[in-house]
Structure 1
Amino acid sequence: MLQKARISVLWSIVLFLMAALAGCGAPDNKGAPSGADIPARSAGKSTANPAETAELVVSAAASMTDALKDIQQAYEAAHPNIRLNFNFGASGALQHQIEQGAPADLFLSAAPKYMKALVDQRFIDINQQKKLLSNELVAVVPTDGTAEIANMTDLSKDSVKNIAMGIPESVPAGGYAKEALTRLKLWDPLQPKIVQGKDVRQVLQYVATGNADAGFVYKTDALTSQQVRVAFTVDPELYKPIEYHIGIVKATRHPRETADFYTYLQSKEALDVFVKYGFSILN
């Protein structure tokens, strides 16, 4: 019995020592987060997801090219999550593109009728479009040109071989020019001389390169080139008022960002840029 008692005491001592050693080696986990609670970190990198960039497609009349590129720089600098992709062309051609489903968030037209067509077909809400700017129709000639042109009737002179103008059905400037020439009964007699361009900038190029002796463009276009000069300003009584309209396309994929840029284009900051390039502001 004494032998068994001693063995029992020895085992008790052994078990006590093992428990004590285990207690000293165990870490204190009280309050320590689990692996799932520890945020992932990487050196030099933020865990926040950067804001997605919204790319807006702006279909705009070619005559607005220079002003809008100027505005683009200022707007993108102030809104780093916005990219403006411009689709410049004849207003009529841009209208048809939108009708056929081409991507567009905002439409800027150089004539009211193209905006009205999209409103009537419900591509643009009537309450999300408005007139913004006006312009003047002028006749330009090459800076080094020799033909003496000071008015509309001078275009009939034998020294004037080619007259450039936009396609009247799709290029607003061409439509205004045709209207003025028709009022003066010059449209039919001048037909053999007329060379048509796909937009007003192509017309400007024809004159600047000497491929046309004269051409009808907007005042704002004439101011962009040192290779042409204004021969005369077309009497505004001879054609409908030139009005630029802006509107939000209903199918926009970025309604909030598009609305913000639409509003910005009506701000003093943006309007000052348009005025700098020769446009006039419409109330």
Structure 2
Amino acid sequence: MKRFLSVLFAALVLLVAPPSLAMAQQLTVSAAASLTDAFKEVGAKFEATHPDITVRFNFAASGVLLQQIRQGAPVDVFVSADEQTVTRGVDAGLFDAATRRDFAANTLVLIVPAAQSSPVKSMADLANPAVQRIAIGKTSTVPVGGYTQQALEKAALWDALAPKFVQADSVRQVLDYVARGEAEAGFVYRTDALLMSDKVTIVQAVGGHAPVSYPVVAVRASREPALAKTFIAYLLSPQAQEILKRYGFAHS
């Protein structure tokens, strides 16, 4: 009898549930780790203007997210911190190339712990024997690592500094290593450094690499293709661009 009443109660709840709840759609967005803070606000604003839609974010290194999608992860929209990762996905037939848009840009910077007196005033100082650990993103999966390698190779420093590298799984992990003083220096995006301006100091903006551009694209296997396109369009809207600007991103 108790079981019957429980089933009956559950059925009644479904019958009286608000129509908006029954019709709610969920959009799953896999996005580069450096977008975490900005996208949480962007997602909230998007949901406010689309009350029947819930946005679920998955943040990680762009290469890791691509691997997840290759393995069948249910994702509607993919957002990368580099162009190459999206191109690999397009070539593999994972993404709808027609929906690809660049919506933001960033700057690679060299940082040091704010709490420590550092001998690092420029990239050349990384060769100083006092600098024993340099945090970088894994070059195979973390876009900031790829940009870092390009910049250091351009400056003819990559091979000489290689023994000092501490490789991280995301740009946020690089930031944490430097903020905690576990590395004497590291390479992150300007937007990440600004989030911990009390714990890390920007030494210089770094050049000699491909532009740091953020492309967004719809996943071919998406169960919500129309909704994915709606979200992509929103990222290019003045409202979303204003949020991104406040977090330090430039318009692409």
* Matched residue, 1:90: 61
Residue identity over aligned pairs, in percent, reads: 42
* Matched residue, 2:78: 107
* Matched residue, 2:246: 276
Instruction: Call closer, same or farther: CA 1:93–1:46 in 2, change over 3 Å.
Output: closer
CA distance in structure 2 between the partners assigned to 1:200 and 1:240 by the alignment: 17
* Matched residue, 2:232: 262
* Matched residue, 2:50: 79
1:249 aligns with 2:219: yes
CA distance in structure 2 between the partners assigned to 1:227 and 1:103 by the alignment: 37
Unaligned stretches of 5+ in structure 1? 1-41
What per-residue deviation string (whole Å, max 9, x for no partner) do you get for residues 93-113 of structure 1? Answer: 111111111111000011101
1:58 aligns with 2:29: yes
* Matched residue, 1:14: none
What RMSD over aligned residues (CA atoms) do the two structures have, in Å?
Answer: 1.6
**Deviant stretches of 4+, over 3 Å:** 45-51
SS in 1 for 2:115: coil
* Matched residue, 2:201: 229
| Relative contact order, higher structure (CA 8 A, sep 6+) | 2
Larger Rg: 1
Instruction: Call closer, same or farther: CA 1:154–1:48 in 2, change over 3 Å.
Output: closer
Quote how far apart the aligned CAs of 1:48 are: 7.0
CA distance in structure 2 between the partners assigned to 1:206 and 1:61 by the alignment: 18
Unaligned stretches of 5+ in structure 2? 1-11
CA distance in structure 1 between the partners assigned to 2:19 and 2:42 by the alignment: 29
Q: For 1:135, which of 106, 117, 120 is the aligned residue?
A: 106
Alignment size in residue pairs = 237
Quote how far apart the aligned CAs of 1:78 are: 2.4
CA distance in structure 1 between the partners assigned to 2:17 and 2:75 by the alignment: 34
* Matched residue, 2:137: 166
SS in 2 for 1:144: coil
Quote how far apart the aligned CAs of 1:47 are: 8.8
